[in-house]
Amino acid sequence: MNIAIFASGNGSNFQALVDDELIKPHVKLLVCDKPNAYVIERANKEHIPVFLFEAKNYPDKEAFETEILLELRGLEIDLLVLAGYMRLIGPTVLAEFPEQIVNLHPSLLPAFKGKDAIGQAIRANVLETGVTAHFVDAGMDTGPIIDQVKVAVNEADTVDTLAEKIHQKEHVFYPKVIRGLIQNGGND
């Protein structure tokens, strides 16, 4: 199974995925939409090719997703793993990868969809939140859920302390989910 990881920022989840010995050999590409994202340095260190694009250089999403598709086809990618990719996947890519795109979201979906899920949880004064892995459909954080893990919220938690706890959970949880998909999908 050939995997492309999509990320826009720091890439701590990208790192957790490629630090997993079972997952690493399957990771053939990083797709990134931000030229200054630290995840690009991480990919370079790991000798993983990077496809970098900037949305502003294309007339619309269909145009840049068409280029992404060419890259994915060239590397015979089977699974797209979103790890902090801060864009909605559009119909151009979705049509070619039905139930083959996985997203990581920092809440117990369906709670706190969309941006700033951690801030939303703090402002809602919930006692627990968590992390969800789900297949991507045309909606925002709406596709079929694969697995979830809970994270307790203390009264003293701020967005920063909760984000730290959530990241720590994600770095164990997401590789476990992706290992499961690789094992179910065969190892070729």
Nearest-angstrom CA–CA distance, 131 and 171:
11
Which 87-146 positions form the footprint of ligand GAR (CB under 6 A)? 104-106, 117
Give the number of C-alpha atoms closer than 13 A to the C-alpha of residue 33, restricted to the C-beta side: 20
Furthest CA-CA distance within the chain: 50
Q: Give the x-and-dash track for 140-179 against ligand GAR (CB under 6 A).
A: --------------------------xx--x---------
Which 68-87 positions form the footprint of ligand GAR (CB under 6 A)? 83-84
12 annotated ligand-binding residue: yes
A 10 A CB-CB count for 137 gives: 16
13 annotated ligand-binding residue: yes
The closest alpha carbon to 148, from 128, 162, 164, 163, belongs to 128
Classify 83 as helix, strand or coil: coil
Which 11-50 positions form the footprint of ligand GAR (CB under 6 A)? 11-13
Minimum CB–partner distance for residue 170 and ligand GAR (Å): 6
57 annotated ligand-binding residue: no
Nearest-angstrom CA–CA distance, 158 and 155:
9
Task: Report, as residue numbers or ranges, the catalytic residues.
Answer: 105
Q: Which residues are annotated as a binding site?
A: 11-13, 61, 86-89, 103
Q: Which residues bind ligand GAR (CB under 6 A)?
A: 7, 9-13, 83-84, 104-106, 117, 166-167, 170
